[in-house]
Structure 1
Amino acid sequence: MTAQEYEYVRGGASHGPVVVGVDGSGTDEPAVAWAALTAARHRVPLRVVHSNEVAVAGAVQDDPAAGSDETLSALREHGEAPRVADQLVEKVRAQYPGVDVEAVEAAGAASQALMDKQESALVLVVGSGRRGGIGERILGSTSLNIAMHAACPVAVVNPGVDVSAEPVGRIVVGVDGSRDSAAAAEIAWATAAARGARVACISTWYLEVVGGVVITDEDSEQRDVIETRQRERVEAAIRAAREDFPDVPYDVEILNGPSSKVLAAQSDHADVLVIGTRGRGGFAGKLLGSVSHKVLQAARCPVVVVKSRPEK
């Protein structure tokens, strides 16, 4: 299997499309551009999904009629359902004439319209974006819901990400030895194979205590023990990915500092940052770990969030 033919999900027949959600707010362009480029690289179709959420305003909660084709037709008759996806599709076709691209207009909640595509999607792509009063980026409800609940990989592309920038040839993946980080490694290697890039495996530690002493000395024997432990965790977690793509070069970097800050900083010199939904310290019932959430808010490159497959 060549790099260009590789799919995120291993095995089976040809996988489905890249699916990108749009809302017509003007912040969609980076997400659509990245989704189109990803579809072209992986040689899969692109589906641009727009949902007219006005359809559910005032409707009975969970009323299936609110998201029906009949509702959408009625809204269009009254000029209340703009064809946002259609407009964006024309731009994609002009830039990527070889990509099979299709607009999907729906009625109802945007997150549900995207989740309906998760079973067949290679990856779901969403934008994110407004900033709060203190300048901190706040994930929109749709972006957060999709990142938390989707079973397939989810890419979050923040406004301001320059998708057209010259690639640096570096795919960063956060690895802590958890099952989610092992799944993230598989996606990182797949992405690197499709791009002809190198993988940087980042493992972090912070405020470790050995023998009642906080380790700070860079040359201490205790620090070497910590970093050896971290490296062993990384190598175990990436074993499957390495076996699938033995030709993809990689590095392991053990860095000291809070995980969210370290990974967010790595996004400054990465084409894509891949993370698991939850790390080793995550609560079993928590769908999106605090580290993942903070990284999504702060990242300056596209972030792919990955959830491990359910244990059999």
Structure 2
Amino acid sequence: MSEKYLIGVDGSEQSRVALAWGLARATERGADVELLHVADDSFLSESVAFLSEAQKASEQMLNAEIEYARSLGFTGKITGNAVVGHPIAELEEASRSADLLVLGAHSGSRLAGSFFGTRAVKAAATAHCPVAVIPNNDANPNAAVVVGVDGSEASKKAIAFAAEEASFRGLALVAVYAWMPPLTPGLEYLWSEELVDSQRSAAEEAIAIGVAGLATRYPDLEIRREIVQAPPVAALVQAAEGAELVVVGSRGRGGLSRLLLGSVSHGVLQALPCPVIVTRA
């Protein structure tokens, strides 16, 4: 059974960059594509007339984006869905039947304040499938795939996803483990060189466990290990500057974590140095 990619569209430049990225990936992997346009009803009148007009406008936008997708040369199966509602809620529901949700976002240190701007962060926190957020900047084709490693279950899922991606594309996998000495005001003098070495050894062990088994499963996969003494977000963003893709794990969807993506995933999405995929825990 073919994978299905759900791609959010709104006709903007950022959205079309993500659309092109999603279509190229779907072509490579033989995936089906569904485009989704959501007319935000947050500020609409609840009258039948207003909602009816919003639905028509949403359908017109969707049809235009399907035509644009075909103009890019995509020949695979493509369907569309135009709805009126709350964008995050509609994306969450639609993601139940998708293998990957693809959204666009502005490049730079901040995501845009529109549907596919900061809401992309919320979508990544609530979706039922991995979420790809695509910046509007020059890509680095045939570069490495970077993944964050921290020993958590979320990290293990991210590593598995990133390894499969790197192997499929014939790219190197860069596994990044970032660590910082505990910062206890007034007690910095307790940190001896021996304790720092101990922390470094623990980091090496964690990254070794994180990538264990990958060489057997993907014998041709080049795996680079980077242990960096730096804040995790800064380390991943720096490693991702020359990468084709960075993969980070989310904490899951239960309770408060459903709304809080996680400081590392959130921070990487805010910087968005290259396409970022957030996997599900």
TM bucket by the smaller chain? 0.7 to 0.9
Shift of 1:247: 3.0
> Would the alpha carbon gap of residues 55 and 296 (structure 1) be closer, same or farther in structure 2, given more than 3 Å must change?
closer
| RMSD, aligned α-carbons | 3.1
Task: Give aligned-pair identity as a percent.
Answer: 27
Q: Which residue of 2 aligns with 1:183?
A: 157
Q: After superposition, what is the alpha-carbon deviation per residue over 1:88-138, rounded to whole angstroms, capped at 9, x for unaligned?
A: 22232233343222232222122233222222212101122388xxx7445
Q: In structure 1, what is the equivalent of residue 84 of structure 2?
A: 107
1:85 corresponds to which residue?
62
Q: 1:211 to 1:51 in 2, by over 3 A?
A: closer
CA distance in 2, matches of 1:157, 1:226: 35
Three-state SS of the structure 2 residue aligned to 1:270 is coil
- 8 Å CA contact 2:140, 2:244 repeated in 1: no
Which runs of no fewer than 5 residues in structure 2 stay unpaired?
A: none
Tell me the CA shift for residue 248 of structure 1: 2.0
2:170 aligns to what?
A: 196
Residues 1:239 and 1:285: Cα distance change in structure 2 (over 3 Å): farther
Q: CA deviation at 1:257?
A: 0.8
Does the alignment pair 1:31 with 2:18?
yes
| Cα separation, 1, equivalents of 2:255 and 2:230 | 24
Counterpart in 2 of 1:286?
Answer: 257
Are the counterparts in 2 of residues 111 and 142 from structure 1 also a CA contact under 8 Å? yes
Match of 1:236 in 2: 209
Runs of 5+ consecutive residues of structure 1 not aligned to the other structure = 1-13, 61-65
Summarize the alignment of residues 36-51 of structure 1 with structure 2, pairs less than 5 Å apart: 36-51=23-38
Compute the TM-score of the two structures, normalised by the length of structure 1: 0.76
Cα–Cα, structure 1 residues 23 and 214, in superposed 2: closer, same or farther, change >3 Å?
farther
Equivalent residues of 1:71, 1:107 under 8 A apart: no
Question: Counterparts of 1:278 and 1:256 in 2: how far apart (Å)?
Answer: 23
Alignment of 1:167 with 2:154, yes or no, is no
- What is the 5 A alignment of 1:232-271? 232-239=205-212, 243-271=216-244
The number of residue pairs the alignment matches comes to 272
The CA distance in 1 between the partners of 2:107 and 2:199, in whole Å, is 39
1:161 partner letter: N
Aligned to 2:6: 19
Aligned CA distance change for structure 1 residues 150 and 276 (closer, same or farther; 3 Å): same
1:28 counterpart SS class? helix
Q: Counterparts of 1:80 and 1:97 in 2: how far apart (Å)?
A: 24
Equivalents in 1 of 2:256, 2:189: separation in Å? 32
Instruction: State the alpha-carbon separation in 2 of the partners of residues 130 and 235 from structure 1.
Output: 33
- The offset of 1:298, in angstroms, is 0.4
- 2:53 aligned to 75, 80, 85, which one? 75
Task: Describe the SS at the equivalent of 2:257.
Answer: coil
Deviation at 1:55, TM superposition (A): 8.0
TM-score normalised to structure 2 length: 0.83
CA distance 1:266–1:57, change in 2 (3 Å): same
2:13 alignment partner, SS class: coil
